[in-house]
Amino acid sequence: QVQLVESGGGLVQPGGSLRLSCAASGSIRSINAMGWYRQAPEKERELVATITSGGSTNYADSVKGRFTISRDNAKNTVYLQMDSLKPEDTAAYYCNADIIRTYWPYGRDYWGKGILVTVSS
């Protein structure tokens, strides 16, 4: 089995920082792209940032220059460093990974359960 587990969320004041982590574990052969998405109350889930296995990154315009995505391939972990946080960044953040498993069907898209980030004074 394969699972993604997020950590690092919480309450932070505007202008503050948080670092999210997402670790993939289980019967994993390799991981292609990994990413972070978020869903605010009464809004649709939206892309925050993605990173390929080679390290190429992509960001939503709303977080460019404030958030940084990175990954540790040896640990099957993706990170999201969030700086200069704003109240509008408040949302549940979800980790996503395109995983090649050791069993059939080999390729599958996985999601974490989500972690809450609240930006408020």
Q: What is the pLDDT of residues 76-110, one digit of tens each?
A: 999 999 999 999 999 999 999 999 998 988 889 99
Which tokens is 13 given? 């004041």
Q: How confident is the model at residue 32 (pLDDT cuts 50, 70, 90)?
A: very high
Q: What pLDDT sits at residue 104?
A: 87
Q: What pLDDT sits at residue 23?
A: 98
Tens of pLDDT, residue by residue over 7-25, are: 999 999 999 999 999 999 9
Q: Give the pLDDT mean for 60-66.
A: 98
